[in-house]
Amino acid sequence: MIERYCGREISTQVAKTQIIDSKRGNQNSYTNVTLHKPHSDQLIKQVQEFIEENFYQTIQVSGLAAMVNITPRTLNRRFQSCVAMRPIEYIQAVRIEQAKRLLELGNVTIKSLAEQVGYDDISSFTRLFKRATELTPKEYQDKFSRLAI
């Protein structure tokens, strides 16, 4: 019913927040990272927007710092203060969230998925994905794919 009136994305989000899966130890696979935390630092907001729009490209903290004309150390400190994670962790979180969305939409290979979200190394991507969700990309896809429901 929620899907009919509110759309697929909203129904999936509601399902993730309302389902209790007794076969899991925790709920990491159901979490949605809220990446934009309210803060007033415009420079950090600019960096966040750049990351969110360019997550599929190679992004280095030194390049982000140069983009906003501060040192990498200052960027790390200010970012941590505003967002409660380092820029590299934020980049990874944005990429993992996008990967989750792509897996939910349908059938995608892990190799193409990794490339679409900015990873050249499939094993590195899979390791980060599993650390964030406690599921492999394939397990996540089997559990949450629009085709599986």
Q: Please write the tens of the pLDDT for every residue from 60-90.
A: 999 999 999 999 999 999 999 999 999 999 9
Q: Residue 36's CB: how many other CB atoms inside 10 A?
A: 11
Tokens of 25: 């130890």
Exposed e or buried b per residue across 21-33, where buried means at least 16 C-beta atoms within 10 angstroms of its C-beta:
eeeeeeeebbeee
Alpha-carbon radius of gyration of the chain: 17
pLDDT band at 6 (very low <50, low <70, confident <90, very high): confident
pLDDT band at 24 (very low <50, low <70, confident <90, very high): very low
Average pLDDT rounded to a whole number, residues 35-62 = 91
Tell me the three state secondary structure of residue 115: helix
| Distance separating alpha carbons of residues 149 and 147, to the nearest angstrom | 6
pLDDT band at 35 (very low <50, low <70, confident <90, very high): low
| Distance separating alpha carbons of residues 122 and 110, to the nearest angstrom | 7
pLDDT band at 17 (very low <50, low <70, confident <90, very high): low
CB 98 within 8 A of CB 117: yes
pLDDT of 5 reads 76
Average pLDDT rounded to a whole number, residues 9-32 = 54
Query: pTM for the full model?
Result: 0.76
pLDDT value at 31 more than 70: no
pLDDT value at 57 more than 90: yes
CB 72 within 8 A of CB 112: no
Average pLDDT rounded to a whole number, residues 6-16 = 71
pLDDT digits (tens, 9 = 90+) for 116-132: 999 999 999 999 999 99
Tell me the three state secondary structure of residue 137: helix
